[in-house]
Each structure stands twice: as structure tokens, then as C-alpha cells.
Amino acid sequence: MNLWMDLLFGNWIGILSLFTIAFMVGMAIFFVRMFLSKSK
């Protein structure tokens, strides 16, 4: 676990990938919500 924390927060590439994953999850939730509201 300590190795993963060092990989994620030790350098800017890990932080950038963390932000990218969070952004993609947010976009997926947004598109699912938009699709569900349009299909009603």
C-alpha cells in the first residue's frame, strides 16, 4: 500500500493520472444521467 501511495502522490504523473481517472468517471456519470433523463 505504501508503494502505491508513493506511485500516486510521489510525482506529478501519478497525480495527473488520478485526476484523469476522476474526470473520466465524472463524465461517464454525467452521460448516464443525461441518457436516463432523455429516455423518460
pLDDT, residue 37, reads: 95
pLDDT, residue 5, reads: 75
Q: What is the pLDDT of residues 1-40, one digit of tens each?
A: 777 777 777 777 878 888 999 999 999 999 999 999 999 8
Name the amino acid, one letter, at 39: S
pLDDT, residue 8, reads: 74
Q: How many domains does the chain have?
A: 1
Quote the domain boundaries for residue 35: 2-39
Instruction: Mention every residue, 6+ apart, whose C-beta is less than 8 A from residue 17.
Output: 8
What DSSP string runs through the chain?
-HHHHHHHHSSHHHHHHHHHHHHHHHHHHHHHHHHHHHH-
pLDDT, residue 40, reads: 83
Which residue is associated with the grid cell 461517464? Answer: 28
- Tally of residues, the chain: 40
